Amino acid sequence: MKDFARFKQLEDLDSESKYLVHKAKEATVTAYAPYSKFHVGAAALLEDGTLVTGSNQENASYPLCLCAERIVLHTCATQHPGKAVKKLAVVAHRKNHKELTMATPCGACRQVMLETEVRQGGPMEIVMLGPAHQWTVCPSAESLLPLAFTPNHLHE
């Protein structure tokens, strides 16, 4: 976690990160979260400036739920093949609350984020509201998932 940059306020982030955070927050409007009441939005900025957003989609059969991060990354891969994800922002709030709350990607999302980095041959920055209500900028998904399982493990 030493490579992570931490900021006390959103205003302290660079303009690109602030823009992505605002777009991710806008994406929470489309969240379908009747069970957790936890609305998550994600926004990805591709290397060519394209913006892709998504939100969490829940299901009564919980294992079938989809996180905002995975929706965004898979949309990027299918709708914009060959374009690298430069930066990803993730935000969340509780239903009927405007204030954002801590939202760090789950393990499954971290694995998909890492696979995205492998596919594109380079890292993406991740912006999120982390512990102690501080904005956290991670240099890569790999930094979020130490000792990760990668495609290389399949060929050892």
Euclidean distance between CA atoms 68 and 148, whole angstroms: 21
**69 noted as active-site residue:** yes
Cβ burial, residue 29 (10 Å; 0-12/13-18/19+): exposed
Euclidean distance between CA atoms 55 and 69, whole angstroms: 8
Euclidean distance between CA atoms 118 and 4, whole angstroms: 20
**From the candidates 16, 47, 69, 142, which is the catalytic residue?**
69
3-class SS of residue 47: coil
Cβ burial, residue 17 (10 Å; 0-12/13-18/19+): buried
**What amino acid positions are annotated as catalytic residues?**
69
